[in-house]
């Protein structure tokens, strides 16, 4: 099991090359980014990772509020699949083999199950395009109580069901512990029952979305349990630091490393 840092939230005043160097200096050797649309910028990130002994492991393929490519809308299926095709090319050119997919917001006046079916069909089409390149997609449920009001895919159970229906080896669920703590909690039992369908984790302190060690979650305990159950993918830090960034990353490293080692 490995761990990564969302580079977009740390050392934000520095150019990309120096930002990745500073993250690597604190002990973290993998990064992910919200960026995906600018292929030249991703190439710069990929080169900076190689120069500093790090790896780019994930990008964002579409944001929750991008209505024109929301896969929950059947009319946007072709645009969504084209987006996945293009952004996966960008990612692969930077050495990255996975991306995060969001459902988009709920559609007013459209039956829930029609929206879910549209999401399954769009994701299946995108998965086929991505699979030919060896690229994986992680569909992410989010909370609609605090951060994403109106978002369609809030249920972890529905996310697993969607991945099962798509039935593609390169489609898994991004389980964001911050979002799911707000929605339901009770993580370990759920994760142990569904671990083969989890392709990536995100984490942040609850409440507030700050350092992991400041909130109500016992993150080392969760990590130990999923590691013992065989999870080998990545655990991503997607929090907004309150401490100076170097101090924040070093303290988070000290907090998580015994469980990750």
Residue 36 confidence (pLDDT): 86
Domain ranges of the chain: 2-260
Specify the pTM.
0.97
Packing angle of the helix pair 156-166, 112-131 (nearest 10 deg): 50
How far is 114 from 11, CA to CA, in rounded Å? 43
Written out in words, the top-level CATH class of the domain with range 2-260 is alpha beta
Q: Residue 161 is encoded by which pair of tokens?
A: 């069901």
CB-based contacts of 216, cutoff 8 Å, min separation 6? 181, 206, 207
Residue 176 confidence (pLDDT): 98
Please identify every residue annotated as catalytic: 140, 238
Q: Residue 64 is encoded by which pair of tokens?
A: 């929750």
Residue 178 confidence (pLDDT): 98
Q: What is the mean pLDDT of each run of 10 residues along the chain (261 residues)?
A: 97 96 96 93 96 97 97 98 98 97 98 98 98 98 98 98 98 98 97 98 98 97 98 97 98 96 88
């Amino acid at each position: 099991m490995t761990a990564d840092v969302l580079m977009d939230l740390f050392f934000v005043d520095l150019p990309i090359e120096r930002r990745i160097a500073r993250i690597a200096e604190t002990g973290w050797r993998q990064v992910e980014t919200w960026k995906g649309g600018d292929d030249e910028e991703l190439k710069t990130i990929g080169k900076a990772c190689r120069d500093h002994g790090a790896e780019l492991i994930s990008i964002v393929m579409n944001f929750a509020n991008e209505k024109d490519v929301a896969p929950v809308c059947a009319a946007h299926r072709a645009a969504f699949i084209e987006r996945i095709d293009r952004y996966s090319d960008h990612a692969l050119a930077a050495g990255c083999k996975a991306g995060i997919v969001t459902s988009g917001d709920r559609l007013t006046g459209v039956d829930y199950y029609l929206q879910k079916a549209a999401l399954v069909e769009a994701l299946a089409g995108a998965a086929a395009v991505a699979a030919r390149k060896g690229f994986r997609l992680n569909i992410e449920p989010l909370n609609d109580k605090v951060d994403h009001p109106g978002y369609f895919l809030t249920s972890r159970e529905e996310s697993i069901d969607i991945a099962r229906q798509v039935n593609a080896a390169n489609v898994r669920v991004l389980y964001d512990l911050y979002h799911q703590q707000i929605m339901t909690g009770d993580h370990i039992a759920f994760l142990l029952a569904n671990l083969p369908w989890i392709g990536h984790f995100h984490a942040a302190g609850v409440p507030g979305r700050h350092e992991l060690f400041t909130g109500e979650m016992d993150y080392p305990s969760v990590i130990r349990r999923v590691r013992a159950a065989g999870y080998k993918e990545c655990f991503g830090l997607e929090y907004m630091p309150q401490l100076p960034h170097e101090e924040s990353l070093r303290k988070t490293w000290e907090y998580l490393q015994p469980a990750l080692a």
